[in-house]
Structures are given as structure tokens and as C-alpha cells.
Amino acid sequence: MLSHTISKSISLVTILLAPQAFYITTKAQNCGCSSELCCSQFGFCGNTSDYCGVGCQQGPCFAPPPANGVSVAEIVTQDFFNGIISQAASSCAGNSFYSRGAFLEALDSYSRFGRVGSTDDSRREIAAFFAHVTHETGHFCYIEEIDGASKDYCDENSTQYPCNPNKGYYGRGPIQLSWNFNYGPAGTAIGFDGLNAPETVATDPVISFKTALWYWTNRVQPVLSQGFGATIRAINGALECDGANTATVQARVRYYTDYCRQLGVDPGNNLTC
């Protein structure tokens, strides 16, 4: 885990959302839905937005809203990026790993990131993403979870994504991707061997950013319209929301409101959870 407040959220992408996603997947790995039903991103059959919306694999999937004409690269300027990473200590491993160039290269594979809704919506999404990344990595200081190799992040019930006993699935990258049932599907979607080479997330900066964008677009982007507080709940709800850790919630909100200020957009309502 990372130190102090950062450690509270390192494995959250798996503690909350991923277990739920995993259990759905194992119930219907092969989908095989009837023609009138959608196969969800987790391999389950249904006809609501949970099945036919984001990540729908087949069937009468809902068409996503059209992307707007916003240029994310023009918003995430070098000065904006430097304003984050410059706050990391010079000894941080992330200084020579994370870069705006790697982020923009990864972004080529996620054309809907920061491009849904109005221009203000785009700026709020970008501010939210970097607020969480700042909190998770300590201003891009950390690439890997501190002492992560000593921890067991293998869920043996995840038969669709079996663990390699010689590999560790601890937190890595901007979102600190964790657990075999996240590394497996992330690797499949991105194009690396997440189960047999999870360390790729800590050695290839473009793939590292892709894992963050993959998780974001599939798990967080769908709740953006509910306010920044909903994104906290999507990422670390059990450990922070409903009074569980108000200090870390407020830390995330401070980053978010600061980045909204820098990007010239109102942060909106419902900031906490």
C-alpha cells in the first residue's frame, strides 16, 4: 500500500467495483444471450443500461452519445501536467515514468475520454480524472504500491482470470490497478498479458496510462453526471464514503476543485459522498 492517505485507496478499484464485476462474470462467462438481450461487459444477459450500455459486447447495445469536438490535448497542457508532477519529490520513481506524452499516446485508444457532453463536462471529467490520479500516486510519485509484492491480490474464485503463482497483482500505474480479475480483462482489452506479465503496467508508461483510462471509461465515466462525489464512490466508496474517511474524501475534493479552477470550469454539485 502507499503511505498515509494514498494507501487508503490503492486497491479500491478492486475492493469495491471489481469484486462485484467479477462475480457477475463468473456466473455467465460465455454470455450466450437470446437475441433480444444484451451481453454486458461482465458477460451477463439483460436489457437495461447496465447490460446494453457501456461495455456491451453483443446484442441490441445502446448507441453511446456522440463525442463532442473537445481536444483533450489542448486542455491537458504541458503546464497543467507539470503542475502536478512537479510536486513529487525528486527521488520519486514516477518522475522518469509518467509524462504528458505517454498520457496522450494512451488517449489515442480512448477517444471518448473527456469528450462526452458539453465543453464544461469535458473539463470536469479531465479535472476529476487527474484529481484521483494525483491522490492515488502522490502527484505521480508512485508507480507501484509500496510493499505491494508482499500482499496477496489473487482471487482464486476468479476462474476466468486464473492467477500465475509467480506473479503479483498489486497496485500499479495511475489508478493503481490491482487483483487478477482486473489485470486479466485490462490486458485483454489493451493488448498485453495482464495475468502473466502484470509488471508491464509498471514498465511501459503508455500501457500504464491505458489501464487507468480503461478502468475510468468502464467504471467511472458512467457516473460522471452524478457529480464528483459519485466518482469517489466508484473508486473508493467503501473505505471513504458515508463517513468512513472524510479526510481522504476532502483531499480528493480539494484536488478536483483546484483543477477545475485551473481549467476554468465550475466544479458542479454533489462533490462528496
Could you give phi then psi for residue 46, rounded to 5 degrees?
Answer: 180, 180
- Identify the sign of the CA torsion 241, 151, 86, 76: negative
Return the percentage of the chain with pLDDT > 90, whole number.
Answer: 70
Residue, of 72 and 236, whose pLDDT is higher? 72
What is the band of 30 on the pLDDT scale with cuts at 50, 70, 90?
Answer: low
Catalytic residue among 125, 136, 144, 240: 136
What is the band of 209 on the pLDDT scale with cuts at 50, 70, 90?
Answer: very high
What is the band of 7 on the pLDDT scale with cuts at 50, 70, 90?
Answer: very low
Quick one: which of 176, 156, 178 has its CA closest to 165?
A: 156
pLDDT of residue 55: 73
Average pLDDT, the chain: 87
pLDDT of residue 267: 98
C-alpha cell at 250: 476532502
At residue 46, the 3 state secondary structure works out as: strand
What is the dihedral angle through the alpha carbons of 247, 237, 64, 31, rounded to the nearest 10 degrees? 160
Quick one: which of 88, 100, 90 has its CA closest to 136?
A: 88
Is 136 marked active-site? yes
The model's pTM? 0.82
What is the band of 243 on the pLDDT scale with cuts at 50, 70, 90?
Answer: very high
Element (H, E) at 180: helix 180-190
Return the percentage of the chain with pLDDT > 70, whole number.
Answer: 89
Residue 28 pLDDT greater than 50, yes or no:
no
Residue 256 pLDDT greater than 60, yes or no:
yes
260/128 Cα distance (integer angstroms): 8
Angle at 166 between CA 21 and CA 163, to 5 degrees: 20
Taking residue 249's Cβ as centre, other Cβ atoms within 10 Å add up to 25
Residue 205 pLDDT greater than 50, yes or no:
yes
Q: Are 230 and 171 in contact (CB under 8 A)?
A: no
What is the band of 240 on the pLDDT scale with cuts at 50, 70, 90?
Answer: very high
Residue 77 pLDDT greater than 60, yes or no:
yes
**Mean pLDDT of the region 138-146:** 96
Could you give phi then psi for residue 147, rounded to 5 degrees?
Answer: 60, 20
Residues 42-76: tens digit of each pLDDT: 678 888 877 887 778 788 888 777 777 899 999 99
213/102 Cα distance (integer angstroms): 12
38/112 Cα distance (integer angstroms): 21
Residues 152-190: tens digit of each pLDDT: 999 999 989 999 999 999 999 999 999 999 999 999 999
Residue 6 pLDDT greater than 90, yes or no:
no
